[in-house]
Structure 1
Amino acid sequence: MSETLLLVDGSNYLFRAFHALPDLRTSAGEPTGAIKGFTAMLGAVRSKVKPDFGVCVFDAKGKTFRSGIYPEYKANRPPMPEDLAAQIGPIHEFVRALGWRIIEKSGVEADDVIGTLATRAKAEGLTTYIATGDKDLNQLVEDGRVMTINTMTHEVLDEAGVKAKFGVPPGLIIDYLALMGDKVDNVPGIYKCGPKTAAKWLEAFGSLEAVAEHAPEVKGKAGEYLRQGLGFLPVAKDLVTIRTAVELPEVGTCRDLTFSEPDEAKLEPLFARWEMRSSAGRIRKQAAQAKKPSAPAGAQPDLFSALPASGPAPAGVLPQPPGLLEDPVDFSLVEDEASLKAMLGVLGAQEQSAIPVSVEILADSHQPMTAKLCGIALCAGGAGAWYMPLALGDGTRSKPQQDLLEGLRPWLEGGAPKVGHSVKFLLHVFANEGIRLSGRPGRGLEDTRLQDYVIESHNRHELPRLALRWLRRPIQGPEEVFGRGASEKRPWEVPREQAARYAVESAAAIRALYARFLLKMREEPAQKLESIYEDIELPTESVLFRMERTGTLIDPVRLEAQSRELAARIGELERRAWQEAGEEFNLSSPRQLGHILFEKLAIPAKKKTASGGYSTGEEVLSELAADYPLPRTVLEYRALAKLKSTYTDKLPAMIFPGDGRVHTTFGQATAVTGRLASSDPNLQNIPVRTEEGRRVREAFIAPAGCRIVSADYSQIELRIMAHLSGDPGLVSAFQRGMDVHRATASEVFGVPPEEVTPEQRRMAKVINFGLIYGMGAHGLAQNLGVDRAKAAEFISRYFARYPLVHEYMDRTRQLAHERGYVETAFGRRLWLPDIESTRAVVRAGAERQAINAPMQGTAADLIKIAMVSVQKWLDERALCSRLVLQVHDELVLEVPDEELGEVMKKLPLIMSGVATLRVPLTASVGSGESWEAAH
């Protein structure tokens, strides 16, 4: 079990804590915001990582050696705010009382101390996490042994994470920083060289020195600026390079940096002195959560050792199961009949194993419908691992390779248990080969992406990240092996040994992760998470694969005609905008639009962007549109331009030549709430409230002899609120089949239901849905167009009518703070990472999310269960009707005319019967020649 060291960049924490919280003060007027923020952040990161050792490193007073290199270093920094300086002493007292050691070293910076300790820890066999918001420290990230963890978000960056975030690997962060310079530290870089330019140059040339060597080749103004700044680059590089050999005689080994037990004799008076008694319980709770569970004396960690009892698994705290992820993994190449026969013999003996054989593939593209299989990796743990190459050096496949694939086909299509990562893509690639990849009968393949999604929906689910997080095992990511973007190589364009090892080690990680995740899900009370995975997510994946494979028929002629009409309308709006502005300008340029609105027309600016420019986002323009014509015109222009570029222009070009259909990809492990996403193309964001958007849906048509059938749940989230809250008024309204919006209007406006006006019903609808989204009086006032006092009165009347709804909201917020998550009616866990944020606005947002997430998540669960139930019924009846789309709370089917009556009758019954709630579920159904006509 690898030991971990947590190095906290205390100086970075100081400033982040000071600026994150409002101006908090004691009753005597003494500032406390930084104290409260720092202690909260320190406790949160320790409870997240659960380190064995740790230290908090601060900058010492006075100049450092860098001022000798460049006298202007940090010369433009303003003095530390007095309110922050006053809090440093108390912060140090708290840190020590909480059991941390503190290091300050004169003549160097905290970064240099951290760099030295991280380097020593690596040599001593420790894994290091550096808690910081400073990008400079990412230069220390290396081989999964040193990682950074963000101060605020707790995002962990390994090598792949650094590359994804900055565009360069850790080894080039120094060069990257030297090119950009650092305004905060007054380190000059290349003029106007930002992150994208720096990353582009380094990707093109490979290093800072190579960039300088090739500077004459860089064209335009960027090249001129580069050549002008070459002289200072070596100095800049020296300044941004973190030293890793600082003398630290006070630290014998990194294992000396142990934690002490919190000193209650010191903490109690500190809490009292700084009036932080309300924070004391949380801080003590975090300290308790930071302790690793102790193993029995002499016990060795194994595959089934105990995992943390609750909460997301902190990165890098789980023991590595011995024998599962050897480094490197031994594997055999399958290149002839003898090696195939030997592999199949071992695979046959694995069919009763508790852990399935893992399957990983290499393909020549990321497009599910066209990707070609280039290699297969299989891992059966200690029994063996194999790689079967299926592409020659030119990308073609030889007959012997095809024969090997055919020899493996019976096992691939058989009922042997198998596990993959992102199984839906595997199913597509094998389907492109005419192979129906199968797993256990009635269950299919296990999927580690879906397992992790059920356990921690709020995190990213890439395989290298999971291997590092759960198995303490760094593995290569695809970008490290094949590159990315325009320079991405295909599997046959990298050395075969490299491609094979990448695939096999990925397969080995998948198999180990499956066992980890299975254990994690089974330890939960009532095994709710395992039920979510097995009864909802796995069968949904199978249905989504079939839907993606089927695709949706569209009419390109209709879309092309609409594109022409939209182009004409967009041109008219552009000319109208020019007339309203008094000059021609680029409506798509926020800078030009901001100049016209707020400088030329002198409209009062609502807010600025982070860079100091005028904000011209939809929210700002919508507010201005009530009083000024130009913002109204721009909003209409943007809506039509987006519709044209995203749908009417794009969809015809996305028709698959093989069947004349559009094949979207459904993202199953995307939204935190469990909702499905749609991409390439996104069919869930087609506007339905505008005539132009509805016309796009008219182009989604049924083939000859068929009809489009649409069925969607009625007021699903309000019904779920009634179920979760148990409010008798709300439950009764649904049970009696009342118009809930009319009933709410009757209560809020004090009129009999039959006298409610359409406008009152509309306002009641806003209130019903606004409150379940956690909207307060301010937001409700804006949405209703009334003053805040009137909105507060509406809310008061609403909760007087539905008191248990208010109790549910309060209870849910409290549970979210206590547990860090909320749950759907089925037990899906929805994590809220920001629920204990030190920033009030962020924490308030998480509390609103806590109220709404159970409703959105339960609705997502219901529609998935409905999809699975409908598909099961279609299969049992051997019908030719097919599910083609799922959008929000709606299912869309393609139904032959002769099956229309049966489907129209049965579909709403299936959807309304998938779960028993306190209130009835109802689904409406319609049919037509197009998707729009079916509504």
Structure 2
Amino acid sequence: MSETTSDRAPGAPLLVLVDGSSYLYRAFHAMPDLRANPDDPTSPPTGAIRGILNMLQALQKEHPTDHLAVVFDASGPTFRDALYPAYKAHRAPMPDDLRAQIEPIHEVIRLQGWPVLVVPGVEADDVIGTLARTAARQGWRVIVASGDKDLSQLVDERITIVDTMSGKVRDVAGVEAEFGVPPRLMVDYQTLVGDAIDNVPGVDKVGPKTAAKWLQTYGSLDAIVAHAHEIKGAVGEHLRRALDWLPTGRQLLTIRTDCDLAEYVPGWPSLQALQRRAPDTDALRAFYERYGFKSLARALADAGRRPSGAAHAAGGDPMPRGLFDEPEAAPTASTAAALRVEVVRDAAALQRWVDRLRAAPLVALDTETTSLDEQQARLVGMSFAVTPGEAAYVPLAHTGPGAEEGQLPLDEALALLRPWLEDAAAPKVGQNTKYDRHVLANHGITVRGYVHDTLLQSYVLEVHRPHGLDSLAERHLGRRGLSYEDVCGKGAAQIPFAQVPVERAAQYAGEDAEMCLAVHHVLWPRLQAQPALQRIYELELAVSDVLWRMERHGVLVDADALRAQSAALGERIAALEAEAHALAGRPFNLGSPKQIGDLLFGELGLPVVKKTATGAPSTDEEVLEKLAEDYPLPALLLQHRSLSKLKSTYTDKLPTMIHPVTGRVHTHYAQAVAVTGRLASNEPNLQNIPVRTPEGRRIREAFVAPPGWCIASADYSQIELRIMAHLSEDAALLRAFAEGQDVHRATAAEVFGVAPALVTPEQRRYAKTINFGLIYGMSAYGLAKALGIDATAAKNYIERYFERFAGVRAYMERTREQARERGYVETVFGRRLYLPEIRSPNGPRRAAAERAAINAPMQGTAADLIKMSMVAVQHALDDAGRQARLILQVHDELVFEVPPDDIDWVRTEVPRLMAAVATLRVPLVAEVGVGPNWERAH
């Protein structure tokens, strides 16, 4: 029967064949080092299992079918090994963590109902080839899911190769476009080029272009061999030397399509044995639970609770549900059915709840609002929970369905709640309490009595995992509630929360409060069982209070000064554009990477330093810095980029962010983001204002004090080097800090073997770069680049450093080993910094994790110290009744607004308090500067 395009009509049955061996390696290397128990790095690895499940899910969504087989390579030799003993000889052994996941992968796919084929003595490609060609002869359409280009030789009008990870489709036209030859010539093409991965030689010096050109000219490998004597030059000689090998090479590279699969495919050559069976849901659920896939286990349980006709009623797939189903957005029975939410619509009902709140040992409080902007948000409603399975919702500003049934006036409700909300002796718990405190402060209420925050509990216990309440409830309670999108919709169709029907809003808000209380009851005992982490948590709670006060107060900026700076920057940017156009000999868009690339590399012929993922020459900052060493135009482009970013990010934007009521800029400090414990500032980000250029420093001049006041800046001196000295206990470093030496000069004296008094400025600069570079895991290459020297000299400097500071080397080696054993490192004060990739088989990822293992304890300890300082200083300000206000925290620096009467107090007490928050093996030193603005305070 002739095969035509019509044979590919949708009516033809579809067989999907998955190259499981290809999926196996790709999943393993694409996923992080996941474990069945995330807190135990010695528990079974699960990254490849999860990766393959995700890939199969994506495949089934894209190509739904009842007939699918997943084919894996069997262990042991095949006919190719007998034919050519060096076949695949160069392949590295399978990583142990991958080997441990093969059997579980086979198991879970079978439990899902899909056939798994592993044929001894036959490679997966040959099994796939036999199945594909057999199905095609029977009129089936075939999709082979694989990233292996070798399978392209199977492509015809019925067989297509798809790569779900890259989105690439290799049909007849796609193969020819990619390789320059049609699928029927792919074996000949591969024989000429060879296969380095499988250690199959081709013709020496013949690459894809030459192979395609020869096949286009002569029509086949046999014809090329017949005309080998005509091909001139060195490449012709290489071809003639390979003539005796080519038949063997072709045999090795040809995918077999005639394997006997009768023992493995019942009824062969019928393909009905490859039909999907019903999943074994009980065994699947047990598997998911065994390997820590809690969300998959719950989704399976939810599917089992649906009415049997649900899929049909929704127009869905009537096949058994399981792995390939989307998780439901509706609440599970364990939340929606069990939770009772009272809608509180009148004063009497609210008073009853206030009495319950007063009597409760702990109350979970949550707010529903008009905005995520904590300075602008207004209340729509509030929810409370005091016991499991029960909650209350107080609608306050609803306008949607149900609002007409009544809701308390906002002022009346807040008047009833205010005494309890402002009572420091009334214990409260919340999720991200800082936000709720801002919202209620917008209504004139200062909430007191927050003794717990589930966001911070999660951040301290499991910093490497998501901390949203939905994630916490799924992870620790096995429950899912309504999402915001469930009640408000998505995208352009999303409605404000005030328009959500009151009963629906009550269910959503009540779930949040009740789940917050339940999560607390799980996480708090875990913190109590680990005293060091409990102390870190208590520190975070105290810091949250300080941050709330800082955010509430804001920082004063001089809008006129910023506008003047913006105008000056605009003039400088315009001058740089004119200068760049003159150097280029024509106008071009300095903000367009494509135009810059075309100009630099196409017209001017500058050397290509590196390429982007798409193969185009890169014009990123690193490339321009390298080119700027020899060419003036890239240097101008760097200046232009730097000034343009300053203008758009700060001088143009900051004046627009001044609050219309307070006249100040109110940044938001994200407390539960950085794994090291550092704070993050956003909207606006005031921690990344560049200080290495005059233009950057000038921006800080616009951060000013009120009339008659001044700005004070207090920061730790060389804090991370001091922490390194403490952690490493290196005698030379300890001595330098104990004696108050210039540590960079002392390092230079050790590395260069000279007396400290004879250290030159250049040698001190080198030593400073080495000191800070090693903290961040800088390599010899990185040091060479930073210092502008050759790699050999940099390597010698590092070796000399470690000879003189042997304690530092020992600390680094000890820390790497401990990180590999435990899966985390700790700060001096016990904060845990998890390193999911520390045992990764992926070399670059593992190396990055090892660098983080060395640096994280120092960054994390520095973060702990500055947080301790914030709390200590704020308490001291309060106790002394001072008017000075803490307004900014940036890295190791605290910034204050200070009235004249407090200047001396800040100068003397703040550095004393900062130095006294902890006792290390070296003294902590903090310095204070005072000035009319932030820049002048340094």
TM-score by length of 2: 0.71
SS at match of 1:825: coil
Q: Does 1:617 align with 2:634?
A: no
Aligned to 2:773: 770
Alignment of 1:479 onto 2:491:
no
Q: Note if contact 1:336-1:400 (Cα within 8 Å) is conserved in structure 2.
A: no
Task: Report the alpha carbon displacement of residue 130 of structure 1 after superposing the two structures with TM.
Answer: 13
Counterpart of 1:683, as a letter, is L
Partners of 2:103 and 2:445 in 1: how far apart? 49
Query: 1:406 pairs with 412, 415, 418, which one?
Result: 415
Partner of 1:36: 95
Partner residue, 2:918: 915
Q: Structure 1: where are the runs of 5+ without partners?
A: 1-6, 88-101, 148-170, 173-206, 210-240, 247-252, 255-315, 317-321
| Aligned ranges 1:133-148 → 2 under 5 Å | 144-145=299-300
- Residue of structure 2 in register with 1:67 after alignment: 141
Counterpart of 2:464 in structure 1 is 458
**Percent of aligned pairs with the same residue?**
45
Partner of residue 357, structure 2: 347
Q: Which residue identity does 1:30 align to in structure 2?
A: A
Distance 2:268 2:570 in 1: 66
Which residue in 1 is equivalent to 2:376?
370
What residue is the counterpart of 1:748 in the other structure? 751
Cα gap change, 1:105 to 1:736, in 2 (>3 Å): farther
> One-letter code of the match for 2:384?
L
Render the CA deviation track for 1:33-58: whole Å, top value 9, x for unaligned: 47227626839999xx9999999985
- Give the Cα–Cα distance (whole angstroms) in 1 for the partners of residues 549 and 900 of structure 2: 21
TM-score, with length taken from structure 1 = 0.71
Aligned to 1:584: 587
Listed one character per residue, the Cα deviations across residues 331-355 of structure 1 (whole Å, up to 9, x for unaligned) are: 111111221122223223312xxxx
Aligned-pair CA distance for 1:580 = 2.1
Residue 687 and residue 838 in structure 1: after superposition, are their counterparts in 2 closer, same or farther (change >3 A)?
same
For the pair 1:392 / 2:552, whether they are aligned, the reply is no
Number of the residue aligned with 2:528: 522
3-state SS of 1:869 partner: helix
CA contact 1:413–1:436 (8 Å) conserved in 2: yes
- DSSP-derived class of the 1:577 partner: helix
In structure 2, C-alpha distance between the alignment counterparts of 1:753 and 1:330, rounded to whole Å? 74
Q: Which stretch of structure 1 is more off in the superposition, 864-873 or 63-72?
A: 63-72
Task: Answer whether contact 1:597 1:603 (CA < 8 A) is retained.
Answer: yes
Residue 735 of structure 1 aligns with which residue?
Answer: 738
Match of 2:339 in 1: 329
Q: Distance in 2 between matches of 1:510 and 1:55?
A: 38
Mean CA deviation greater in 74-83 or 449-458: 74-83
Alignment of 1:46-65 (within 5 A): 61=128, 62-63=131-132
2:535 maps to 531
Contact 1:128/1:146, CA 8 A, preserved across alignment: no
The equivalent residue for 1:703 is 706
Give the Cα–Cα distance (whole angstroms) in 1 for the partners of residues 631 and 584 of structure 2: 11
Aligned-residue offset at 1:506? 1.4
1:783 aligns to what? Answer: 786
String of CA shifts for 1:254-283, please: whole Å, max 9, x gaps. Answer: 9xxxxxxxxxxxxxxxxxxxxxxxxxxxxx
Matched, 1:804 2:891: no
- Residue 575 (str. 1) matches residue 585 (str. 2): no
Alignment counterpart, residue 511 of structure 2, candidates 492, 502, 505: 505
Deviates more, 1:669-678 or 1:743-752: 743-752
Partners in 2 of 1:416 and 1:324 — Cα distance?
30
Query: What's the counterpart of residue 14 of structure 1?
Result: 25
- Partners of 1:373 and 1:107 lie apart in 2 by 68
Q: 2: distance between equivalents of 1:546 and 1:331?
A: 33
Report the CA distance shift for 1:435/1:585 in structure 2 as closer, same or farther (over 3 A).
same
Per-residue CA distance 1:268-313 (angstroms, 9 max, x = gap): xxxxxxxxxxxxxxxxxxxxxxxxxxxxxxxxxxxxxxxxxxxxxx
Alpha-carbon distance in structure 2 between the residues aligned to 1:481 and 1:108:
50
Task: Measure the CA separation in 2 of the matches of 1:862 and 1:45.
Answer: 45
Cα distance in 2 for partners of 1:106, 1:728 equals 75
CA distance in 2 between counterparts of 1:641 and 1:349 reads: 58
Structure 1 residues 105-124: aligned runs within 5 Å: 121=281
Shift in alpha-carbon separation, 1:116–1:892, aligned structure 2, 3 A: farther
1:900 corresponds to: 903
Per the alignment, do residues 125 and 36 of structure 1 end up closer, same or farther by CA in structure 2, a change over 3 Å counting?
A: closer
Pairwise CA distance, 1:406: 1.7
Partner of 1:712: 715
1:204-223 CA-partner distances (Å, limit 9, x unpaired) = xxx9x9xxxxxxxxxxxxxx
In the alignment, which residue of structure 2 is the partner of 1:287? none
Residue 11 of structure 1 deviates from its aligned partner by: 5.0
Within 2, Cα distance between the matches of 1:350 and 1:640?
A: 57
Is the contact between residue 29 and residue 842 of structure 2 (CA under 8 Å) also seen in structure 1?
no
Query: 2:423 matched to 1:416?
Result: no
Q: Is the 8 A contact 1:17 1:37 kept in 2?
A: no
Query: How far did residue 523 of structure 1 move?
Result: 3.2
Q: Does 1:690 align with 2:690?
A: no
Change over 3 Å in CA distance of 1:35–1:339 after alignment to 2: same
**Contact 2:346/2:407 (CA < 8 Å) preserved in 1?**
no
Cα distance in 2 between the residues matched to 1:653 and 1:592: 32
Question: How far has the Cα of 1:459 moved from its partner?
Answer: 2.1
Amino acid at match of 2:483: G
What residue number does 1:437 align with? 447
Separation in structure 2 between the aligned mates of residue 363 and residue 106 of structure 1, nearest angstrom:
64
Q: Alignment length, in residue pairs?
A: 729
Corresponding letter in the other structure for 1:821: Y
Give 1:248-263 correspondences, 5 Å limit: none
Structure 1 Cα separation of the partners of residues 637 and 875 of structure 2: 48
Q: Is the 8 A contact 1:126 1:145 kept in 2?
A: no
Q: Distance in 2 between matches of 1:797 and 1:866?
A: 36
What letter corresponds to residue 355 of structure 2 in structure 1? G
1:485 Cα offset (Å):
5.6
d(CA) in 1 for partners of 2:446 and 2:334? 29
Counterpart of 1:856? 859
Query: How far is 1:141 from its partner?
Result: 7.8
Partner secondary structure for residue 387 of structure 1: strand
Cα deviation for residue 779 of structure 1 reads 1.3
**Corresponding residue for residue 495 of structure 2:** 489
Q: Based on CA coordinates, which of the two structures has the bigger radius of gyration?
A: 2
1:598 to partner: Cα distance: 1.7
Residue number in structure 2 paired with 1:547: 550
Partners of 2:569 and 2:653 in 1: how far apart? 14
Q: Which runs of 5+ in 2 are unaligned?
A: 1-17, 33-84, 118-126, 144-156, 162-169, 176-185, 201-263, 303-309
CA distance in 2, matches of 1:342, 1:885: 42
Hey, what's the Cα distance between the residues in 2 that align with 1:828 and 1:700? 33
Q: Is the 8 A contact 2:87 2:198 kept in 1?
A: no
Q: For 1:324 and 1:348, how far apart are their aligned partners in 2?
A: 28
Q: Is the 8 A contact 1:365 1:372 kept in 2?
A: yes
AA aligned to 1:746 is: A
State the alpha-carbon separation in 2 of the partners of residues 361 and 86 from structure 1.
64
Q: Judging changes above 3 Å, is the alpha-carbon distance between structure 1 residues 657 and 925 closer, same or farther for their aligned structure 2 residues?
A: same
Residue by residue, what CA displacement relative to the aligned partner does 1:530-574 show, whole Å, maximum 9, x if unpaired?
A: 11101x100000000000000000000000001001011111111
CA displacement at 1:907 relative to structure 2: 0.7
Q: Deviations over 1:875-894 (max 9, x none)?
A: 00111110000000000000
Q: Is the 8 A contact 2:396 2:409 kept in 1?
A: no
C-alpha distance in structure 2 between counterparts of 1:28 and 1:928, whole Å: 74
Q: Per-residue displacement from partner, 1:446-500 (whole Å, max 9, x unpaired)? A: 1111111111212221211221122211223323332456554211122222221
2:524 counterpart letter in structure 1: L
Structure 2 residue aligned with 1:160: none
Distance 1:400 1:620, change over 3 A: same
Question: Is the Cα–Cα contact under 8 Å of residues 610 and 617 in structure 2 kept in the other structure?
Answer: yes
